[in-house]
Structure 1
């Protein structure tokens, strides 16, 4: 059953539990290139995106939103657009005059003490007061222009103030969202949507479950936007997003979604629609346990041949599922057993359904091993299963490459570089690499990776190892070679 929320007007649509789940995306054009940005918005709207977000990283870009909105209306597109604001509250004051929704990142909206690692109680309160002052300045413009706000928390860019108090963890991310929501609520502004994103599937699921529980206990019934940040490229990004978004939707959590895929944002819309179509097949979800997340058990993938972990031992009890009622079969077995092992023919399932079923089982801890009984199991299909297992964090057999979807701040071909990194460094289990679009959020949001490439200007990039800048302003055509050199220097490969 879907979580009950307020119904939030955003332009000519509503976001909330009484309305269909909204699919949205974000442009990756330069915002000041009005024609390109308008054209990409139109393509996304024609593909059935209901909301498009546009970066506004300086005054010129924030002012450009006026022409973008005007041009869209002139061309007959009255769907809402949102402005993505980081670091500078003044940009929100400008953008809110022209768009239908503002996304603010509370982790960098106000930072009075940028060099602080630890905070006194007085400094903590001083910064909290400063956030309230900036929000108060914004409110008249929001109200006069009927503009909604998304409080968009990203675990990779949390406020140092909250990291000092809680650690760099889910608890700090939830507190970041709650404290901002409470300020807006105190000031009688409730046209809010809230999101918490991480690059970890497990953390994204856990954070949103805890967030909604806390919001509801406080009577803050705000809609939730779902997504996995830096989900990655192609199938990897689709699998990670499907596990997290699909299973949160099954929990009744989520009113708007974005599948963040590296590259052309048009690819995001069909992927999001497929997630919506897949999760609906499993509604209503029968009762299933949620165990504490641990790495005590390493799941195995058995097959009829010598692929993966080979044939299963005879003493493992498997239950067979099909694509009609898999969760009902699983729930019945779990009435008398703590765990299940699943037997399935993958040809009966699409990638989205497999990601939701297996992802939920491994994340929530009730699934152990699986047995793929396909007579002609294809290596590509098996690779997909490995990707699903890897995305849950329960067993790593591949190098993980996290990469941002890019936006107008990205000034190089991030899709090409991500593919090169994935191909060249694919066989290092346990290694996590990052390819990020820009230095605005890149260094902070790649904290889950041991090493990463971060764009820094037109066709230039920096290289980071363990969060430390080790190579700067590398021409983009040379950056993967330099990256390999640095990985070897630091004994990562």
Structure 2
């Protein structure tokens, strides 16, 4: 299937950086051809000046170029002055960004002391009570006018001070007004941001950065592509830079895989001027991941370029799996079957024995003689595939292009009924940094799977066969293709957090990780829950210091549970909803 060329990217088979205007943030420039700027967020209490300064200095030493700090109250916002002054006293010029959610008055205070303010359109001036109602055009217009009254003072202050503003939409935290007209969709996310951008432009303010974050990489990718396409349709002076992030990515390998899929796929599309990797870990651990992602995509910019452009073989705004036919082997590949996990034939028997009785099993022994290995630019070989019976097709090793671009070329040039085996590398056996290898595998395979391309995957960037098999399944889970364990949406800690997120997430993961297909959100405060839990089945949300509220979907059902009892209460709630199973005895 081919789709008309979309303005979200000039050619999906090569790296072309999106052109954006410069937005100064203190001594740092976002957009305008500058390198991708790396960000993180403090986990310390904003009122603890010394802890915030110490954490910020550690981040800067690790390579962080922009530091964000939560300011949930006017008192917190006022203390940004002390943090800034102490950093400057210690000769640290890093720009500071205030993170604002519900309180315009906190934003007004923070804007006096920072280089950039981030607001979330879903809960800055609008409110959300998850009420279903229809708005007449007049009611909708009236609500937008009220929004302007609340937001314009901040815009005017940013204009006077010459500071920047990030309009940061989050999936799952859209206002009731947007939800009722557009639904909880990428389209609604874009329109929510544009409402605020129009107010900025009306006031002559253009130091704007956009973001469209989601915990689901598929939704995130779609939302950012729709944003960029919409900005281009609006005109060349709408070329504002873009901040990328997978919100609440989680921890460990899961968090790194999700981040590589979402952030990496968009960077490879040339979209993104600044990034933050959101891990439920110490903030300083986010920076090596962000650095590695930036470095990987910088290599794409210098890779050889194909001779000819292609029309996208996928819908960039709405996920649709490529419609291949069944390749009848054991197991069947393509034709709507789950994306299969291939391993090298010589490792198959050992991996089958080691994984017996688990969900993580090898499904296909890779033998080059059973697969059609082609050059994506060899017209004769591609024509020879023709319209005959389905054959499993892949790209021959040694191809000079990054796999993401090469497999898009292949999908655009072969009949759709042939299923495709994806590879994460065309140069197996190359030794490299383990983190870079993990992120590269997740980026190359995950981005293609989010495009709907791929019927089987072969991961060879990880030398250990067992680890490679586990990573393959983690990539399939992160992209929504397979579910073999519980899925966790865990926010990164910040100054609003009401319990120790890392320890709590680890306890919940240990107790519930075996619940295949169940999605659990672990949120440190009411700002991130219930709204940003998005489509989670259950939520564990900080309600007050030492107390937890439990949710089914977005509905709070149990309140103020002492933290030491909350994990057991969560298990009881899951059981009451009929989704609990006992963990395997092993």
Which TM bucket (shorter chain)?
over 0.9
**What's the counterpart of residue 291 of structure 1?**
314
Residues 314-333 of structure 1 aligned to structure 2 (within 5 Å): 314=370, 316-321=392-397, 325-327=401-403, 329-330=406-407, 333=410
**Does 2:149 match 1:133?**
yes
Unaligned runs of 5+ in 2: 1-15, 322-335, 353-360, 371-390, 581-586
d(CA) in 1 for partners of 2:463 and 2:154? 60
**Does 2:212 match 1:186?**
no
| Selected match of 2:126 from 111, 127, 149 | 111
User: Could you tell me whether the CA contact under 8 Å between 1:110 and 1:127 is conserved in 2?
Assistant: no
Q: CA deviation at 1:459?
A: 2.5
User: Could you tell me whether the CA contact under 8 Å between 2:215 and 2:247 is conserved in 1?
Assistant: yes
User: Could you tell me whether the CA contact under 8 Å between 2:128 and 2:174 is conserved in 1?
Assistant: no
User: Could you tell me whether the CA contact under 8 Å between 1:232 and 1:402 is conserved in 2?
Assistant: yes
**Does 2:262 match 1:244?**
yes
* Counterparts in 2 of 1:196 and 1:374: CA distance versus 1, 3 Å: closer
Deviates more, 1:86-95 or 1:475-484: 475-484
**Does 2:276 match 1:258?**
yes
**Does 2:47 match 1:32?**
yes
User: Could you tell me whether the CA contact under 8 Å between 2:22 and 2:31 is conserved in 1?
Assistant: yes
Residues 337-356 of structure 1 aligned to structure 2 (within 5 Å): 337-338=415-416, 339-342=419-422, 348=430, 350-356=437-443
d(CA) in 2 for partners of 1:225 and 1:375? 30
User: Could you tell me whether the CA contact under 8 Å between 1:153 and 1:196 is conserved in 2?
Assistant: yes
Q: Please give the TM-score of this superposition, normalised by the length of structure 2.
A: 0.80
Deviates more, 1:337-346 or 1:348-357: 337-346
Q: CA deviation at 1:130?
A: 1.7
Q: Please give the TM-score of this superposition, normalised by the length of structure 1.
A: 0.94
**What's the counterpart of residue 249 of structure 2?**
231
Q: CA deviation at 1:91?
A: 1.2
| Selected match of 1:275 from 293, 305, 312 | 293
The higher radius of gyration belongs to: 2
**What's the counterpart of residue 180 of structure 2?**
164
1:434 partner SS: strand
Unaligned runs of 5+ in 1: none
Q: Which runs of 4+ in 1 moved over 6 A?
A: 373-376
Q: CA deviation at 1:360?
A: 1.8
Q: CA deviation at 1:374?
A: 9.2
Q: CA deviation at 1:371?
A: 3.6
d(CA) in 2 for partners of 1:248 and 1:373? 23
d(CA) in 2 for partners of 1:120 and 1:331? 44
| Selected match of 2:69 from 29, 54, 61 | 54
Q: CA deviation at 1:469?
A: 1.8
| Selected match of 1:174 from 165, 186, 190 | 190
**Does 2:31 match 1:16?**
yes
d(CA) in 2 for partners of 1:202 and 1:375? 24
Number of residue equivalences: 493
Q: CA deviation at 1:310?
A: 4.2
Q: CA deviation at 1:366?
A: 2.2
* Counterparts in 2 of 1:321 and 1:312: CA distance versus 1, 3 Å: closer
User: Could you tell me whether the CA contact under 8 Å between 2:211 and 2:243 is conserved in 1?
Assistant: yes
Q: CA deviation at 1:456?
A: 1.7
Aligned CA-pair RMSD: 2.3
* Counterparts in 2 of 1:340 and 1:471: CA distance versus 1, 3 Å: same
Q: Which protein, 1 or 2, shows the higher relative CO under an 8 Å CA cutoff with sep ≥ 6?
A: 2
Q: CA deviation at 1:198?
A: 0.8
**What's the counterpart of residue 79 of structure 1?**
94
User: Could you tell me whether the CA contact under 8 Å between 2:66 and 2:94 is conserved in 1?
Assistant: yes
